[in-house]
Homo-oligomer: A and B are copies of this chain.
Amino acid sequence: MRSPLIAPRLLAHHHHHHYRPITAIQRRFISAYGYEQAKALVLPNLGEPKDVLRLHGHSISPPTGDAVTIRFLASPINPADINQIQGVYPTKPTWTTSLGTPENIAVGGNEGVAEVISKGSGVKGLEKGDWVIMKKQGFGTWRTHAQTTASELVKIDTEKREGLKAEQVGTVSVNPCTAYRMLKDFVELKSGEDWFMQNGANSGVGRAAIQLGKLWGYKSINVVRKRESGHEDLVRDLKSLGADVVITDEEMRSKGFRDQLKEFTSGGREKVKLALNCVGGPLVNDMAKHLAPGSPVVTYGAMSKQPVQLPMGLLIFKDINFHGFWVSRWADKNPQQKKACVDEILDLTKQGKFQDIPMDPVTWNYDTKQDELVNAVQGTLDGFRSGKGIFVFGNT
């Protein structure tokens, strides 16, 4: 019996050098037989996104057996996706020839939401029209369509996503779940009493932590870099999300901060019992020394690219302990918890209690040019975007 996975190879065409436009008539013809004309932002090897990414077209045959064909709705561009392409991320992209190339390629992107458009007769638990997210990293989500199996997908219950946009559903599993687990898994904070402290408070995770903290009664001290312009707007913005205190790293290093902190924490009766770090460098010590003895510092990013220097006294005598959190590892180990976390965030989003970081969507239609898509990725890397970059799929 011929495997359905062999078919795309036969129909594959390479966009880069041998681009042959497929006309609307051809496309309808192919669709008539259940074939999907797919496009994917792929890389043949690791490197700078602008150098290695290209748009690759291929066909997907009708699903048989346990195969499922999905059409992507929204796929964010996360910093980790870019690091992965550059080769500076511990997990590599998934190399494959199953998209009809003679050599291995990989599809960029790890997070996204898609819709089931057809399935083989052996597929259980998924129906046409269902929305799904990826169970694990490495799926390759920067593409219009993919064929996979139900075991690689997590179904979003229809009532959970009703009224929500794909952009909202497609961005829950990384940043909000990171914030959620870091606030819950390292120390038990007492509602209405305990504080946490975080740097990079304006990041996607930072904003999620502020909001979840507020909902759970955990007060927050939020450290941001001083901005030349728009600083007051940022402070107002984070406070509107629920930040109790917003300060710059300079302010935290100033002599008066210890007294200020005492004021914030009801004369020191309340304690700061957790620190979240995505910056690294000396800022981590500046934070750690204001924590209550025995508190954890959880690192989930390293924006400054500087290592953390731990003075031994903090470790030994103040019992400050240092941990890392990597949402991919957590999700791979705890698929049930991931689904629960996603569902809870979606509920909160529907209730208007949670909002993601402002987005900067890039529409990906059937005729969107390679340059536009690659620039969207490179622009995220270069920090030129005004919000979180996300591919929103239109007419694909």
Contact = CB atoms under 8 A, between A and B. Distances in A.
A317 B326 contact: yes
Contact of A312 (B299, B311, B318, B321): B299
B315 A322 contact: yes
A301 B300 CA distance: 27
Given A322-B321, A326-B317, A307 B310 contact: yes
Contact of A307 (B280, B301, B312, B321): B312
Contact of A309 (B301, B308, B314, B326): B308
Interface in A261-313: 280, 299-302, 307-313
A316 B324 contact: yes
Contact of A323 (B300, B315, B326): B315
Contact of A324 (B301, B302, B312): B312
Contacts of A90: 313, 317
B316 A325 contact: yes
A136 to B, nearest CB: 15
A275 to B, nearest CB: 13
Contacts of A313: 90, 302
A329 interface: yes
Main secondary structure of the interface of A (DSSP, over half): mixed
Given A302-B312, A312-B302, A317 B307 contact: no
Among A280, A309, A316, A317: residue with most chain B CB under 10 A: A316
Contact of A316 (B314, B315, B320, B326): B326
A310 B312 contact: no
Contacts of A316: 299-302, 324-326
A326 B319 contact: yes
Contacts of A308: 309-310, 312, 315
A328 to B, nearest CB: 9
Nearest to A300: B316
Interface string A90-103: 10000000000000
A322 B325 contact: no
Contacts of A301: 312, 316
Among A301, A302, A309, A322: residue with most chain B CB under 10 A: A322
A308 B310 CA distance: 5
Contacts of A317: 90, 324, 326, 329
Contacts of A321: 321-324
Contacts of A280: 312
Contacts of A325: 316
Contacts of A300: 316
Contacts of A326: 316-317, 319
Contact of A322 (B302, B318, B322): B322
A42 B268 CA distance: 35
A215 B20 CA distance: 72
A92 to B, nearest CB: 12
5 contacts: A308-B310, A315-B322, A316-B324, A316-B326, A322-B322
Interface of A: 90, 280, 299-302, 307-326, 329
What 4 A-B pairs have minimum CB-CB distances, sorted nearest first? A315-B324, A302-B312, A316-B324, A322-B322
Given A302-B313, A302-B316, A320-B324, 15 more contacts: A90-B317, A280-B312, A300-B316, A302-B312, A307-B312, A308-B312, A309-B309, A315-B322, A315-B324, A317-B324, A317-B326, A321-B322, A321-B324, A322-B322, A322-B323
